[in-house]
Structure 1
Amino acid sequence: MAALRIWLRLKRATALRAGGAWARNKCQSSFGLLFDIDGVLVRGRTPIPAAKEAFRKLVDSRGEFQVPVVFVTNAGNCLRQVKAEQLSEVLDVEPPATKDFTQIEVILFGEPVRWETNLQLIIDVLLTNGSPGDCVRTVPDPHLPILACNMDLMWMAEAQMARFGHGTFLVCLENIYKKITGKDLKYKALIGKPSIITYNYADCLVRKLGESRGLDAPVCRLYAIGDNPMTDIYGANLYNRYIQSAHKLPVPAKVAAGGMLEGQEEVPGIGPVHEGKLAGSAIESCKSILVCTGVYSRHEQLPCDPSVSVTETVFHGHRDFHFDPSLVEPSFEVQDVNEAVDLVFREENRD
């Protein structure tokens, strides 16, 4: 299994490169781009045509990227090289190094193929404290630590309707565990979009890319492009909310699954405190851009009324996130990723 979030850096080779031009030309870019993948750049294995046009605008005549770019995806139920191959029709990328986990934990990466079997195995591990060959005498309390790395209830592939995501698998697991034990399943951490920790990490990567390429102006604005209001938009807006207040607080700070700082009053849209550290950030804002080529479509929402705001739909977020309707409203709404790049250039006064 691959790690949930696949952070793909642009290669310094062939047609699309992130390196040389920045160092030589001293680009004045002061913004970075965060791209979701499924529903924004591809649908399953099929590239979205607008993605090719969008990335042509992000490179110069030598095919070198002029803007720091990081890919932020919750898709982790395939090998990282498979994900890179799926993107090869859009741009040239290389997979990142993975991180090894040294402690014994239950790490949930993505929805499996055989849900019944995997649900049974996970419950066996939890009830036996990691020894599924043993008999269950008492229910361990607390149970083994669980890291859930994908909260997407739905995601977009080739099918016309959105598919069940890992968030749906978690709903099943949580309800089965409570039905059997009478207790709530608890997470050590919820990682991946819309977790604020995920966007904080993407923020760090964007700024490091800018610094390594010798930008004259530091990256101070982020634009997060996604197709899912309940994850991509919710997460970007949540991170923007954190940015507006975080500079007043000491860092690193302990944060919630959704980003609440330890010791702070609970904020709507932010879940209970889990373990995690946030790095400091010099970013001024993180604006969300919603595209209509994936989970979200202007004319295919429930209820089926184009006049109904996305905030009036049913909340698809995780159990531990308290719904704040304002966080589902994007900063901008466009048809596709090509229009999104055009919009960012207008906002940044770029040709």
Structure 2
Amino acid sequence: MYFTIGKLLKIKSSIILKVYISKQFGLFIDIDGVVTRGRDVLPPAKKAFETMIDSSKLLNQPLVFLTNSGTSSTEEKSNYLTKLLDIHVNPSQIIMSYRPLDLFKKFSTKNTLISGQGPIENIATIMGIKNLITIEQLSKSYPLLDMMANARREIIVKDNMKSILPRIEAIVLFGEPVNWETSLQLIIDVLLTDGYIDKKFEMFPYPHIPIISCNSDFIWMAQWKNPRLGHGAFLSCLESLYKKMTGKELIYSAILGKPNVLNYLYAEKILYENAKKINQHHHSNPSNIQTIYAIGDNIESDIVGGNIYNKLLDKKIEKSRTQHSDFSYQHLLHDKNYVDLVDWTQLSDLDTSHVTQCKTILVQTGVFHSNLDEEREKAYKLSYNHRDTKADPSMKRADYVVKDLMEALKLIRKIEA
């Protein structure tokens, strides 16, 4: 057996890539548009993960999949990625958009209306919501609420309808529903009646009952050549309808998912835990992780989110230099309206984290394709960020722009070397 010089260089490059990709840094990797397009894996992504596994097909690189998907469980998503990439992906390595929901303990006992598709009842239960009501259950209990379809208008209710559901005290939107018109109508009804669904509209309560959204992506990338409307588009419809009906702005207790910094803090917590597990097998030190690379295809969520998170890390460093008391992210987020709702003890491990920076890498295999996208946004003054996302234009600039995930890993190897 013999090897050509080219073959040896290729082997050497692969070995070096594996060495550098398994030590001093962590990765936040988006899924849609970076790893997959629809149900298909992107070939460069599959090659990239082949450089980050050991002989048992276990990931030897501290990373988490940070996705704005919110209509499947982490188990379903991990099984899907395991089969697609031919590697072992643990459910703990996946941060779905709704993952920080279990930080909102005050919501756990409220009668909560949930919206979305997929196994959201199971997801809501896992996230600690004890008393839940689905849009479908609400529609079935009050069939006269949903009159969008002509066929439903023929329904004859023989008996007087009486309330058979308790007052709805909160709303959680997991992701885009299938029948938007039904969800929009029923959510508006709940908001305008203060959760007493059979109550006649009178003075509209304001502030209204608390509402949390788990995803604000206006567009996302599936298998078609152009982006598809996402949950952020549904939110725009809901906000517009609410303002048209009341003259007031819809208020969210929190909007989870990227670019919300809570998802990044949660991802950092999980990254550190996974690094400790990898340490047991590969003798890497999780405390060495100082840089996180956030890789995504969507400027408004992946890049803005990563840059907002990096800005928070800058504040953390500055704060730690100027005070000797115990540090807490809670004190840096005092201006957020959800700060009092969050159980910060679950993030206490981050108070001693060594992470100092987050670098953003934009790939061109999803929503973002080329500089033409930026030129179009400037020409038409477009912004796909959610109404409540507070980010100056500089937050939309990625630290690096590359072709695909494999190129991103090559870049990281070069930087870390």
- Pick the TM interval, shorter chain: 0.7 to 0.9
C-alpha contact 1:224 1:286 (8 A) present in aligned 2: yes
Q: Aligned partners of 1:314, 1:179: CA distance in 2, in Å?
A: 23
Structure 2 contact 204–246 (Cα < 8 Å) conserved: yes
Could you give the per-residue CA deviations for residues 201-243 of structure 1, whole angstroms, max 9, x where no partner exists? 1111111211233333522110111000111011001111110
Call closer, same or farther: CA 1:311–1:293 in 2, change over 3 Å: farther
- Given that 2:22 and 2:61 are in contact with CA atoms closer than 8 Å, whether structure 1 keeps it comes out as no
Alignment partner, residue 169 of structure 1:
234
Q: 1:252 aligns to what?
A: 328
Bigger mean CA deviation after superposition, 161-170 or 209-218:
209-218
Q: State the TM-score, normalizing by the size of structure 2.
A: 0.68
Residue deviations 1:38-64, cap 9 Å, x none? 000011111111111000111134423
- Residue 95 (structure 1) aligns with: 91
Give distance in 2, aligned partners of 1:81 and 1:236: 25
Segment drifting more, 226-235 vs 294-303: 294-303
Q: How far does residue 74 in structure 1 lie from its aligned partner after superposition?
A: 0.7
**Which residue of the partner structure matches residue 160 of structure 1?**
225
Q: CA deviation at 1:124?
A: 1.1
Whether 1:127 and 2:192 are equivalent positions in the alignment is yes
- Whether the aligned pair in 2 keeps the contact of 1:126 and 1:144 (CA below 8 Å) is yes
Q: 1:216 aligns with which of 271, 285, 289?
A: 285
Unmatched runs of 5 consecutive residues or more in structure 1: 1-24, 264-271
Alignment partner of 2:306 out of 210, 214, 236:
236
Q: CA deviation at 1:164?
A: 0.6
Cα 1:312–1:346 shift into 2, 3 Å: farther
- Residue 23 of structure 2 corresponds to residue 29 of structure 1: yes
Counterpart in the other structure of 2:398: 330
Matched, 1:40 2:34: yes
The CA deviation string for residues 122-163 of structure 1, in whole angstroms up to 9 with x for no partner, is: 111111222222322321222111111101110000111101
Q: Which range moves more in the overlay, 288-297 or 339-348? A: 339-348
- Contact 2:61–2:278 (CA under 8 A) maintained in structure 1: no
Alpha-carbon distance in structure 2 between the residues aligned to 1:102 and 1:223: 36
1:302-333 deviations in Å (ceiling 9; x for gaps): 645xxx9x899622111112341111111111
Count of residue correspondences: 308
Aligned mate of 1:183, from 248, 268, 273: 248
Map of 2:354 onto structure 1: 282
Aligned residues of 2:22 and 2:52 also touching (Cα < 8 A): no
Distance, in Å, in 1 between the alignment partners of 2:293 and 2:175 is 26
**8 Å CA contact retained: 2:219, 2:230:** yes
Q: Deviations over 1:267-318 (max 9, x none)?
A: xxxxx543344642320111111000000001551645xxx9x899622111
- RMSD over aligned CA atoms reads 2.6
Gap runs ≥5 in structure 2? 1-18, 93-122, 132-168, 320-325
TM-score (norm 1): 0.80
Tell me which moved more, 179-188 or 215-224. Answer: 215-224
Residues 112 and 28 of structure 1: CA distance in aligned 2, closer, same or farther (over 3 Å):
closer
How is 1:297-312 mapped onto 2 (pairs within 5 angstroms)? 297-298=369-370, 300-301=372-373, 303-304=375-376
Q: Secondary structure at the match of 2:33?
A: coil
* Counterparts of 1:293 and 1:318, CA distance in 2: 23
Larger Rg: 2
Q: 2:364 aligned with 1:292, yes or no? A: yes
Identity score, percent:
38
Q: Which residue of 2 aligns with 1:342?
A: 410
* Secondary structure at 1:333 match in 2: strand
What is the CA-CA distance between 1:245 and the residue it aligns to? 1.2
Q: Which amino acid aligns with 1:141?
A: Y
Q: Secondary structure at the match of 1:147?
A: strand
Equivalent in the alignment of 2:58: 64
